[in-house]
Amino acid sequence: MTKRPSFVLFITDQHRADFLGCYGHPVLKTPNIDRMAASGTVFDRFYVASPVCMPNRASLMTCRMPANHGVRYNGIPLAERNVTFVDLLRDAGYKTALVGKSHLRTFTGVPPTQNIPPARRGYYRANGPLAEAVRHDLMDPIYRVEEPDFWAGPQPRVPTPFYGFDHVDLVTGHGDHIGGDYTAWLLERAPDAAQLIGADNQLPHSYTCPQAVRTAVPEELYSTRYIAERAVDFINAQKDSDQPFFLMVSWPDPHHPFNPPGRYWDMYDPEDMPVPEAFQRNNWTPPPHVTGVLKRRNDGKANLQGMNAIGCSAREAQEAQALTCGMITMIDDSVGDVQSALSNASLQEDTVTIFTSDHGDHLGDHRLLFKGAEQYEQITRVPFIWSDPQANATGRTNQIGQTQDIGTTVLERARIEPAWGMQGRDLFGSKQRPVAFIQYAHQNKMDELGVPPQIHSVRDHRYRLSVLHGMDWGELYDLQEDPGEFHNLWSDPASSGPKQRLLELLVRAEIAHVDQTPMPTSRA
């Protein structure tokens, strides 16, 4: 059998596609990632399965949609009954490692906002395993290993195999206030680290953008450096081994808070960042769920320290963009460190390198920051680069791909059959996706609308259509004529043809992704 390749998958957090040099950003410098793109294939139409952390990361691992793997929104751990593509690599003899962020389990320890309603008066309600329609073990302590309490006291280790990973160096949280294995590494180098972390200890600055934090943690102690160092250590340990490996290098940045350390803080000037088009339009009528977000900010009721989308000013958008660029450049430098380690260990010619992200950030587009129920390109479209030293195919492709296709493509390249019921496609195979199919849900209610979002979307090469559960309106955008997604054509009689076609494609996507597991055990 021909020698199987090794793989390094770089993944960032909340990093939209157009914030890389190789994707056309006018200011941002990412030479190391750009070199990967120049030697590989760049996907210009690559979309998430869900534009939020836990569901999309679960789709990456399982090659399945949120409705199938069960992580419909943040706050539901990925059940261990799910088979991951890393499980299959490990079973086939690969050495497997995760360095950095997992977020396949909850890491806040904060109670959910959504709960089973109380029984009606005079009615009995079952508790425990009978309270939900499907029994599960997600309250078991094994699903708490990413939460702060697990890491309190003597430094523990994540039990392995962890979703197929035999080696785990874990980072939890966002910004500089993060935990996991990183904490012990940090305290060894800076016993007074508690005096450096968080907004209360930040260095002086003049930025007004929500969650702009000039961290006092120096570059050499920041989590991006830790992740690069541990990834390099893993690669160095493989130098004289004939065993192929799969290494996931997973950064928590450039997710907010916006806090690039050291020289990366002022590496980019907000004045050099483009003012988003929405601030230059006077005739834009936002859809109701966007109107609600903007109204909350205008009324002074927005949670500026939260995770969900908030309204912003043009200046705040430019500041957020500049700080995000600093965080991405630091990641790019770390990608260079890992690439150098592969070269120094003479592993570069046998290793496929991959770059992607779990979802994007509005960064001021449509006058929004962060991400939420607004299914715009800025949060659904992410970078995807595949660089295979043994393949001749390089350049760019407009082929539609999605997060759940990554693991399937890795398995195909490693000549390993996917598990029955995996829904990803080989990105280099003959069967291409007619549309990207995206599922989004959240525990929290949409601003001013009073109900949690349940949104399914399809995106073909021209249009995006989104259907919202419980709403008598939807969204339809012609991105060829309206690339900024400002003119909702849902109720436009002249667009009834494209609308009906996209609705049919949505129905077909729903049917195509009906769960095919379990297999029948016998004939009836």
Strands (DSSP E) found in 348-452: 351-357, 368-369, 384-387, 395-402, 436-441
* Angstrom distance (rounded) from CA 289 to CA 293: 7
DSSP label at residue 264: G
Strands (DSSP E) found in 392-445: 395-402, 436-441
Q: What value does the CA radius of gyration of the chain take, rounded to a whole number of Å? A: 23
Strands (DSSP E) found in 198-274: 245-254
The distance from CA 362 to its chain's CA centroid, rounded to whole angstroms, is 14
Handedness of CA 512, 514, 516, 517 (dihedral sign): positive
> What dihedral do alpha carbons 249, 254, 260, 264 form, nearest 10°?
80
**What is the strand order of the sheet 474-478 is part of?**
436-441, 454-459, 463-468, 474-478
* Angstrom distance (rounded) from CA 25 to CA 30: 10
Q: Tell which phi-psi region holds residue 455, choosing left (phi > 0), alpha (psi between -120 and 50) or beta.
A: beta
Q: Give the model confidence (pLDDT) of 326-344 as tens digits.
A: 999 999 999 999 999 999 9
User: Could you write out the DSSP letters of every residue in 97-151?
Assistant: EEEEE--SS--S-PPPS--PPPPPTT-----GGGSSSS---TTSGGGGTTSGGGG
Q: What is the pLDDT of residue 12?
A: 98
**Listed residue (396, 421, 393) closest to 407, CA to CA:** 421
Mean pLDDT per block of 10 residues along the chain (524 residues) reads 88 98 98 97 98 98 98 97 98 98 94 92 95 95 94 88 98 94 95 95 98 98 98 97 97 98 98 97 95 97 97 98 98 98 97 98 98 98 97 89 98 98 96 96 94 97 98 97 98 98 98 96 94
pTM of the predicted protein model? 0.97
Q: What is the pLDDT of residue 153?
A: 75
Residues in contact with 14: Cβ distance below 8 Å, sequence separation at least 6, in sequence order:
53, 254, 255, 256, 357, 358, 359, 360, 361, 370, 371
**Are 215 and 203 contacting, i.e. CB atoms less than 8 angstroms apart?**
yes
Residue pointed to by tokens 């920051």: 369
**Are 31 and 332 contacting, i.e. CB atoms less than 8 angstroms apart?**
yes
Angle at 194 between CA 193 and CA 197, to 5 degrees: 85
**Listed residue (186, 107, 103) closest to 151, CA to CA:** 107
**Are 444 and 430 contacting, i.e. CB atoms less than 8 angstroms apart?**
no
**CB half-sphere exposure, 245, CA atoms < 13 A:** 25
* Angstrom distance (rounded) from CA 151 to CA 488: 47
Q: What is the pLDDT of residue 1?
A: 42
Handedness of CA 393, 57, 71, 47 (dihedral sign): negative
DSSP label at residue 178: E
CATH of domain 6-109+138-429: 3.40.720.10
**398 in helix, strand or coil?**
strand
Q: Which long-range contacts (CB under 8 A, 24 or more apart) does 342-345 make?
A: 342/8, 342/235, 344/236, 345/235, 345/236, 345/238, 345/239
Residue pointed to by tokens 């390993």: 416
Rounded to 10 deg, the angle between the 223-237 and 181-189 helix axes is 100
Q: Map out the domains of the chain as residue ranges.
A: 6-109+138-429
* Angstrom distance (rounded) from CA 83 to CA 257: 33
DSSP label at residue 202: P
